[in-house]
Amino acid sequence: MKKRSIIPILYIAFLMLPIYWLVAMSFKTTNEILSGFSLFPQTFTLENYITIFTDPTWYWGYINSITYVTINTVLSICVALPAAYAFSRYRFLGDKQLFFWLLTNRMAPAAVFALPFFQLYSSIHLFDTYLAVALAHTLFNVPLAVWILEGFMRGIPKELDETAYVDGYSFPRFFVTIFLPNIKAGVGVAAFFCFMFSWVEMLLAKTLTAVEAKPIAAVMTRTASSAGYELGLLAAAGTLTIIPGAIVIWFVRNYIARGFAMGRV
Partner 1 sequence: MRTENQKAWFFVLPVLALVAFNALVPMMTVVNYSVQETFGNNQFFWEGLGWFEQILRSDRFQAALGRQFLFTAMILAIEVPLGVIVALSMPRKGFWVPVCLVLMALPMLIPWNVVGSMWNIFTLPKIGLLGYFLNDVLGVNYDMTQQPLSAWITVIVMDVWHWTSLVVLLCYAGLVSIPDAYYQAAKIDGASPWSVFRYIQLPKMKTVLTIAVLLRFMDSFNIYTEPFVLTGGGPGNSTTLLSIDLVKIALGQFDLGPAAAMSLIYFAITLLVSWVFYTLMTKDDAQ
Q: Within 108-167, which residues bind partner 1 (CB under 8 A)?
A: 108-117, 119-120, 135-136, 138-139, 142-143, 146
According to CB under 8 A, which residues from 20 to 39 bind partner 1? 20-22, 25, 33-34, 36-37, 39
**Beta carbon of residue 91, minimum distance to partner 1 (angstroms, whole number):** 5
Minimum distance from residue 152 beta carbon to partner 1 (Å): 14
Task: Name which of residues 208 to 247 contact partner 1 (CB under 8 A).
Answer: 216-217, 220-221, 224, 231, 234-235, 237-238, 241-242, 245-246
> How far does CA 236 lie from the centroid of its chain?
20
Under rule CB under 8 A, residue 253 binds partner 1 = yes
Residue 167 has what DSSP assignment? T
Per CB under 8 A, contacts with partner 1 among 41-70 are 65
Asked if 77 is part of the footprint of partner 1 (rule: CB under 8 A), the reply reads no
Site string for partner 1, 167-186 (x = CB under 8 A): --------------------
Residues contacting residue 79 through CB under 8 Å, at least 6 positions apart: 138, 142
Could you tell me the smallest distance in angstroms from the CB atom of residue 263 to partner 1?
A: 5
Rounded Cα distance, 79 and 117, in Å: 21
Instruction: Residue 198: name the closest of 245, 147, 249 by CA.
Output: 245
Whole-angstrom distance, CA of residue 237 vs CA of residue 218? 11
Torsion angle, alpha carbons of 118, 122, 127, 133, to 10: -40
User: Distances in Å between the alpha carbon of 63 and those of 67, 199, 216?
Assistant: 6, 12, 8
